[in-house]
Amino acid sequence: MANWETVVVNTDLLICGGGFSACGAATEAAYWAKKKGLKVTLVDKAALDRSGAVAMGLSAINQYVGIRDGENTVEDYIRYVRSDLMGISREDLVYNIARHVDSTVHLFEKWGLKIWKDEKGKYVHEGRWQLMINGESYKVIIAEAAKNAIAAAGGEIFERVFIVDPLMDGNKCVGAVGFSTRENKFYVFKAKAVIATMGGAVHVFRPRSVGEGFGRSWYPPFNSGSSAYFTIKAGAEMTCQEVRFIPVRFKDAYGPVGAWFLLFKSRAVSATGGDYMVVRKAELENWKPYGLVKPIPANLRNYLGMLDTELGLGPLYMETDEAIKNIAAQYKEDPKAFKKKMKELESEAWEDFLDMTISQAILWAAQNLKPEEKHSEIAACEPYFIGSHSGASGAWVSGPEDLPTPYKWGYANMTTAEGLFAAGDGSGASSHKFSSGSHAEGRIAGKSAIKYIVEKGKAPNVNMDEVEKLKAKILLPLDLWEKHSKETTDPEINTNYIVPRQFLHRLQKIMDEYAGGVISGFKTSKALCERGLELMAMLKEDSAKSAARDHHELMRVWENNQRVMQAEAHVRSILFREETRWPGYYFRADKPKMDDKNWKCFVNCQYDSKTGQWKMMKKDIWTMPGV
Ligand code: SFD
Ligand code: AMP
């Protein structure tokens, strides 16, 4: 085995991840931990300032309810999420996040985030729930608050440490193991409670951007399904693993469209099919009642565009020039004011990308595209796993303690594995939390985990023999490379191992072709899923032969293994749910209709690490009384 030092870290609360929900968890938990003399430790695979989905910044805060100004109620938000997810949402969780999210946004502002204000001093809304921000440094600001809170409470932060597996004592999570991505150090974190907040997953499906564009994707390439892998391996029940997210984005550089649709009131059209949302309106009848709700659910908006693409009516375009001209038209009588407004709109259009997807601005520049003069191509991306946005995959967590929810077995946001909590992309069926809601949910989980430690926390019982076995398994790829890489002229081709890039391509090919990726027009079926699982079983066998030439590749190996776990949970859940409920995300071609009678329920799954078997379950939907 590679000669790496084992570093043991003892803590009370372990936060795995350093993104928005982790920062929320850290800020809140540190506050309570300080009062109780407890230690909080946070571990991020990257550097907190620029890690996770918000690394590049964001141009909007997508969840703000506006309770203090009477703009909306928490119940309005529940109704919005219910419809957008075609009836499948944990309303207790959505409620809990929605009632706390505004205070999180007010904290962001206090910490220095610039939220746009109008002449009356009110927040400028992008849409009903969305606020415009100058968000290039969004993550830096939120990370600073988390770092300060942990430092003030005497906690510790580990950066560039990649968490792999949970440490279990029966059904109780007692810590985690991981490794440094820079030094020869294997980490053992022993904890009384653990929060899994390591984001969602990308590159499970083959991306549109291959070859020289590989690595460019909508979802950040750094998140590889670590939350899902961690909670699945802990034996926790998972939910909505079939509910992937496919955003429609500016093509090839994945720039955001929200500001165009909501702020600029732009239309999207297909080159020869026209305004697909208007032309194909009748299709929405097939997805009643959700198809007739405003706003039309995200997957159905996607679906109408996809129908045009499938018929070869594309490309799809965002009518940027038309939208800008429509807004500026109000100033037509005054040429000076008109010119000024055009300039302002033009800079807002560029700023929207420069705040969060710089590569889209570069692509526009490279293609000589001026948004005020010519429309710009949009396309449905490859599928991602991001339960905090408009997808829903994640762990099945306990509901808030003060609500009469049937989903309650312990502390708020605790998974079915004792002492293991989840938030953000780590927790499922509570979509549309976005950055602000993920932070708010992290705060909820952080406070709840400290309460658990105070009331039930015991010294973690960690079996160090098991830890040694995990260390050998996790570092094995380095040994395989060391032992065999000189046997062939090209070290990438070797019968004794597979390198991470090849492994990744194989996984992506399986998912793309069998599980409804871009190449199969987002369609799949029982037969396709079953064949995909057969191929995945062989891929899993080969995972034990993964080789890594350095720290970076070791991380790539474990990212791959985590993706496979996410992939398998996904395919099994699609297979189990015998209907099509989210066209525009995926289409079960052999079950092309929505079946509310049999399938208006959650699909949950649970993995048994000892037997390698999956258990699939239906869970009833609970709706909030009176909402
Ligand atoms: O609109 C390990 N999101 C948007 N939210 C908004 O409020 N406004 C927007 O403008 C948004 N847009 C957007 C958004 C997301 C993405 C990907 C894009 C654009 C391109 C959503 C939010 O970003 C999202 O809801 C939250 O960030 C979710 O928070 P969280 O904590 O669940 O995930 P994270 O922030 O990605 O953090 C993950 C962390 O885990 C670390 N990590 N650490 C240790 N070991 C491992 N093995 C790990 N694996 C991962 C990461 O480093 C990171 O710290 S819009 O355009 O759609
Ligand atoms: P996006 O940039 O697509 O992630 O959108 C940002 C926010 O606006 C998210 O909350 C989306 O759900 C919402 N959104 C985007 N497009 C539309 C639309 N056409 N109608 C309603 N809401 C939208």
**In the block, residue with structure tokens 């490859």:** 382
pLDDT averaged per 10 residues, the chain (length 627): 94 98 98 98 98 96 97 98 98 98 98 97 96 96 98 98 98 98 98 98 97 92 97 98 98 94 94 96 98 97 97 97 93 91 91 93 96 96 98 98 94 98 98 98 98 97 97 98 97 97 98 98 98 98 97 98 98 98 98 98 98 98 96
Q: How far is the CA of 19 from the centre of ligand 1 (A)?
A: 6
Give me the catalytic one of 21, 62, 89, 390: 62
388 lines ligand 1 (CB under 6 A): yes
Tokens of 408: 């309650």
Whose C-alpha lies nearest to ligand 2, atom 1? Answer: 258
Give the closest residue to 198 by CA, choosing from 388, 30, 429.
388
What confidence score (pLDDT) does residue 410 get?
87
What confidence score (pLDDT) does residue 212 get?
86
> Is 171 among the residues known to form the active site?
no
CB distance 308 to 316 below 8 Å: yes
Whole-angstrom Cα distance, residue 15 to residue 29?
A: 10
What confidence score (pLDDT) does residue 2 get?
85
CB distance 591 to 520 below 8 Å: no
Tokens of 160: 């560039």
CB distance 391 to 378 below 8 Å: no
Whose C-alpha lies nearest to ligand 2, atom 13? Answer: 258
> Is 286 among the residues known to form the active site?
no
Q: Which atom of ligand 1 is nearest to the CA of 256?
A: 56
Whose C-alpha lies nearest to ligand 2, atom 20? Answer: 295
> Is 389 among the residues known to form the active site?
yes
pTM of the model: 0.98
437 lines ligand 2 (CB under 6 A): no
Whole-angstrom Cα distance, residue 162 to residue 463?
A: 21
What confidence score (pLDDT) does residue 1 get?
80
Residue 519: strand, helix, or coil: coil
315 lines ligand 1 (CB under 6 A): no
Give me the catalytic one of 90, 280, 389, 570: 389
Q: What angle do CA 451, 197, 152 make, to 5 degrees?
A: 55
